[in-house]
Structure 1
Amino acid sequence: MIDEVLEEGVGNLKDKPPTLLVLNKKDLIKPGEIAKKLEWYEKFTDVDEVIPVSAKYGNGVEDIKAWILSKLPVGPSYYPKDIVSEHPERFFVSEIVREKIFMQYHREVPYACQVNVVSYKARPAAKDFIQVEVVVEKNSQKIILIGKEGRALKLLATAARLDIEDFLQKKVFLKVEVKVKENWRQDEGLLKYYGYGGQIRAM
C-alpha cells in the first residue's frame, strides 16, 4: 500500500529540476509488486524517473549513477584532461590514510587523529618515498593505533599503501609513524598549522 504522506510529497513536482525517485529494498518486494509500484508512481507523479534499488546488495546503484550523469550540464574544461583534481597528491595520500583509520579503528580514536604528510619524494629510479605521521592526543590512543607488536599499524599502512598505489598508478614506499601531541584539538596554534579555523569539538 502506498504511503499517503509520500503520495502528497511527490504528487506535484512540476516546474522543478530533474527529479529521480529511488525505491529502496526491492529485494524484499515481489517482482509483481515492484511493477505495480513503478506503474503507480509513473502515472500519478511528475518525477522524471523511478528506479527500484537494493542498497543492501548494490542492485540498481549503477542505474542511479547513470541517470545523474545524464542530467549533469556540460561545462568547460578548467583543467587539463590528465589532471584529476586541483588538489596536490599529498592531499589524497592523507585522505586515504585517514579513511583507513576510520575503517580499522572504532569509537573516539579516529576523531582524535590528524594525518600529516611529512615527506613526499618522487624517485624515478625507485619507489616514491612517502612519510606520514598520525598525530593523536593521548598515549593510550597511540598504543591502540600501533597495536600488539605493531600489527595494527602494519595493517593500516599496508591497506593505505595499496590504495595510494592504485590512485597514483605507481609503487610507493609508505612509512607511517604515530606521535602524541596532547590536546592538539584545543591548541589554536596547531589547528591553524593543520589548516583548521578554530577548536574542534570533541566527539
Structure 2
Amino acid sequence: MERKETHKSGFIAVIGRPNVGKSTLVNTLIGQKIAIMSDKPQTTQNRILCILTEPDAQYIFLDTPGIHKPKHKLGEYMVKAAEGTLKEVDAILFVVDATEKMGVGERYILKRLQATKKPVVLVVNKIDLIERKQALPIIAGYTAVYSFAGVVPVSAKKEVNLDSLLDELRKYLPIGPQYYPKDMVTDQPERLIVAELVREKVLHLTRDEVPHAIAVETEEMTTRSNGDVYIRVTIYVERDSQKGIVIGAKGALLKEISTFARKDIEMMLGARVFLELWVKVKKDWRNRAGVLHNLGFGGDA
C-alpha cells in the first residue's frame, strides 16, 4: 500500500512595524541567534532566511526589515525587500506589539496586505507585558479591519504559545519536501552573520545618532592551523564625529563592542576567535547606490 505523503514545507514572511520583536520571534522559533536584536527601530537591514526543521514539516522564515516610510536610499531598499517578500511566500506572519495601540505604521502594512491573497496570521507579541483581558480588545481592533487566517497571542521572549503558533502556521504550508538539511538554520554565509553580530553590538552601545548611519562588512575570515579563527571587520559610518563615538575615549567603546561580539561569534563558530575591528568614514553612504550595492544592499533600491 502506497504511503500518503504528509510532509509539509513552505516559506513564511515575517513582517511588521520596526521594533515589534520580529527577529526575537524568529530566533526563538529556530532555537539559535541568527537575526540580530536591538531596541533601536529598523535593526534588520537585509532579508534573512531562517529554517526550522521538524519531523513532519520545514518552516522557512524570511525575517524582513521593518516596513516604514523611507528617508533615504537604504530605507527604500529595506522597504522594497520587505514588501517584495510578500509575493514569494506561502504564508505571512504579521507581528504587532501588544503594548502599543494600532498606529499609522500598522495601518500602512494592513493596506499593503489587502493586495495579497496569501494567508496572513496575526501574531500579537509581548503578551507577557499586559494582563490577559487586555489582549481581547487589541485582537478585536485588528480583526475589525482585516480578515486574518488566524490570530495567535505570543511572547517570543518568554516562549509563550509558540507551539500554538507553529500549529497554526502548519495549516497553511503546502505538502512538500524538506528543502534544506535538518541541521541548517540559515542560508546566510558566516561572514554576513559575523558582520550582523558586530552591528548588533554597535546598535546596543552607541548613541541614537549613530545606529542607522552604520554598515558593517567582514573583510577577512581565516581559520588558522591551530583551529582559531582570525576575523577582520570594518564598521562604516557617515561622519567623522560618528567615528569618534564608535571608537570611544581611548578606544574603550570599540573594545567593548569587540568583546561582546567575539563571545557571540565564538558561540556560533565553536572556536576561539581573534576579532579585529576597524572604523572608517564613507560619507552619506545610505544615499549612494554604488556603496549600498558593494555593502550587499542592492544598489537598485
| Range into which the TM-score falls when normalised by the shorter chain | 0.5 to 0.7
- CA-CA distance at 1:60 after TM superposition: 2.5
The match for 1:193 is 294
The match for 1:166 is 267
Name the one with the larger strand percent: 2
Please list the CA deviations of residues 157-182 of structure 1 after superposition, one character each: whole Å capped at 9, or x if unmatched.
11111111112222211111111122
Relative to structure 1, the CA distance from residue 121 to residue 25 in structure 2 (aligned partners, 3 Å threshold; closer, same or farther) is closer
Task: Provide TM-score, normalisation by structure 2.
Answer: 0.47
Pair member with larger Rg: 1
Please list the CA deviations of residues 66-103 of structure 1 after superposition, one character each: whole Å capped at 9, or x if unmatched.
54566566642223334332221111111111222222
Alignment of 1:56-95 (within 5 A): 58=158, 60-65=160-165, 67-68=167-168, 71=171, 75-95=176-196
**Residues in 2 aligned to 1:26 and 1:147: alpha-carbon distance in whole angstroms:** 35
**Residues in 1 aligned to 2:227 and 2:157: alpha-carbon distance in whole angstroms:** 41
Q: Which of 118, 130, 133 is matched with 2:231 structurally?
A: 130
Contact 2:223 2:229 in 1 (8 A): yes
Relative to structure 1, the CA distance from residue 126 to residue 155 in structure 2 (aligned partners, 3 Å threshold; closer, same or farther) is same
Backbone CA RMSD of aligned residues: 3.7
Higher relative contact order (CA 8 A, sep 6+): 2
The gaps in structure 1 that reach 5 residues or longer are 1-15, 42-46
Relative to structure 1, the CA distance from residue 19 to residue 116 in structure 2 (aligned partners, 3 Å threshold; closer, same or farther) is closer
Task: Provide TM-score, normalisation by structure 1.
Answer: 0.66
The match for 1:154 is 255
**Residues in 2 aligned to 1:84 and 1:126: alpha-carbon distance in whole angstroms:** 23
- CA-CA distance at 1:195 after TM superposition: 2.4
Residue type at the aligned position of 1:114 = A
3-state DSSP class of the match of 1:107? coil
**Residues in 1 aligned to 2:273 and 2:168: alpha-carbon distance in whole angstroms:** 35
Contact 2:247 2:254 in 1 (8 A): yes
3-state DSSP class of the match of 1:157? helix
**Residues in 2 aligned to 1:192 and 1:56: alpha-carbon distance in whole angstroms:** 33
Choose 136-145 or 169-178, whichever is displaced more: 169-178
Name the one with the larger helix percent: 1
Please list the CA deviations of residues 25-56 of structure 1 after superposition, one character each: whole Å capped at 9, or x if unmatched.
686469xx99xx8xxx9xxxxx9998776x59
Relative to structure 1, the CA distance from residue 187 to residue 56 in structure 2 (aligned partners, 3 Å threshold; closer, same or farther) is closer
The gaps in structure 2 that reach 5 residues or longer are 1-117, 141-147
